[in-house]
Amino acid sequence: MHRILLAVIGVFIAIVLPVYGADRALDFEENYDRVPYWQSQGRASDHLSGTFLDADLPTSMVFSLDESTLKSTLNRSFDQGIFGGEVYFPNTEGKMLRFDIREVSNFSPGLAAKYPNIKAYRGYSSDHPEIRLYFSYSPSGLDATFVDVGTRVKTTIKKISPKDHSYIAYTQLDDSKPRQALSCSTPEPSKIS
């Protein structure tokens, strides 16, 4: 009896969990209608070279973002009185991850009223609850990070240039680039003679 139960559990684990779990990210080509604001441009190494970022380009992806459609999606969710919203963000494998989010202001009420176009959000992946999302949106664009709290893998999404709507998603850093040591100091005031 125990062997039959173990066999059934083994089949469940081998067949059902992989289908339900890790492969639940959306493929761009198949699901563009569900995520109209992101468009995959391909591997970063095909588009960028000698970039100012420390990203490892062969393992990074470039995406274009229709910022006004994303902003409309966010506004529609929160204007309708919904406590949170649902958004999608790309990973470095070209897949979309679905996140349940809520707005979390970094500002005091006075500053929030003064700068209504700067918003911060926090959430978690609907399909992978161990992945946490943190992002902000302002007139200058989007800045996002999501972290797998189990593996401690961090994916960063940054705007490449203020001139267009291209973003890079990267997880790994380029180890061939030299790193500057952190220097935290205040310049000495000039001496008055």
- What's the DSSP call for residue 160? S
Domain boundaries, the chain: 24-170
DSSP 126-140: SS-TTEEEEEEEETT
CA gap 99, 111 in Å, rounded: 27
pLDDT at 29 over 50: no
CA-based nearest residue to 102, from 77, 127, 68, 80: 77
Q: Look at residue 124 in the predicted model and tell me its pLDDT.
A: 94
| Structure token pair of residue 144 | 């996002």
CA gap 59, 174 in Å, rounded: 10
Beta strands (DSSP E) in 47-84 are 61-65
More confident residue, 15 or 85: 85
Confidence of residue 65 (pLDDT cuts 50, 70, 90): very high
pLDDT, tens digit, 9 for 90 and up, residues 117-172: 899 999 999 999 999 999 999 999 999 999 999 999 999 999 998 888 999 999 97
